[in-house]
Amino acid sequence: MTINAYQATVPAFIQILTSLSTILTKAAAHAEAKKIDPAVFVNARIAPDMFPLARQVQIASDQAKGACARLAAVDIPSFADTETTFPELQARIAKTLDFIKGLKPAQFDGAFDRDITLTLAGEKMTWKGGVYLHQFALPNFYFHATAAYTILRHNGVEIGKRDFLGSF
């Protein structure tokens, strides 16, 4: 079976971003039930040198919309990275999902062979689309989505693997 770039990106990003939204809803409910300021969770991190929850969600969003846009050869929507509340993070996920769901499979034709160039730490890096997706974009997306999940789980939100995977 041959898989194309649309099939390798859009369904996976939709699945995990939808799950992330559900997890944030559970975290907000947990904060309310336990009378904890939601900002405690939004700003939480597991280690002092890691990004807090809000930034993890922002980067997961950026990876999803960036990968899809680059592979579909369309402009990447720009979001300001100013979210500080659960509702704002939910809105960001919703905007990301709207963008991804609006892309058409035909826009991804030839994407695995397309050159993708990014500047990372001041250095330009170029990959073929398939290498970019499988060795950079997807691992980064899953890393940050998992970090968001782990921060909330570590802070007492009752979530598990099924919450992370969502429905498929």
**pLDDT tens digits, residue range 129-139?**
999 999 999 99
User: How far apart are the C-alpha atoms of 85 and 57, rounded to whole Å?
Assistant: 11
Q: Is 65 in contact with 99 (CB distance < 8 Å)?
A: yes
pTM of the model: 0.95
The two counts, helices (H) then strands (E), for the chain are: 7, 2
Q: Token digits for 81? A: 């990275």
Task: Please count the structural domains in the chain.
Answer: 1
Residues 16 and 67: beta-carbon distance below 8 Å: no
Residue 124 DSSP class: E
CA distance 42 to 38: 6
pLDDT score, position 1: 62
As a whole-number percent, the residues of the chain with pLDDT over 90 amount to 95
Which residue, 136, 140, 168, 139, is CA-closest to 15?
A: 168
pLDDT, tens digit (0-9, with 9 covering 90-100), for 52-70: 999 999 999 999 999 999 9
pLDDT of residue 25: 97
More confident residue, 120 or 2: 120
- Compute φ and ψ for 119, nearest 5 degrees: -105, 115
Res. 167: pLDDT tops 90:
no
Taking each helix axis from N to C terminus, what angle separates 138-154 and 5-33, rounded to the nearest 10 degrees? 10
DSSP codes, 83-99: --SHHHHHHHHHHHHHH
Q: What is the mean pLDDT of residues 5-13?
A: 95
CATH classification at residue 137:
1.20.120.450
SS3 50: coil
Could you tell me which of 166, 163, 13 has the C-alpha nearest to residue 101? 13
Domain of 117? Answer: 5-165
Residue whose C-alpha is closest to residue 6's, from 165, 130, 143: 130
Q: Are 31 and 37 in contact (CB under 8 A)?
A: yes
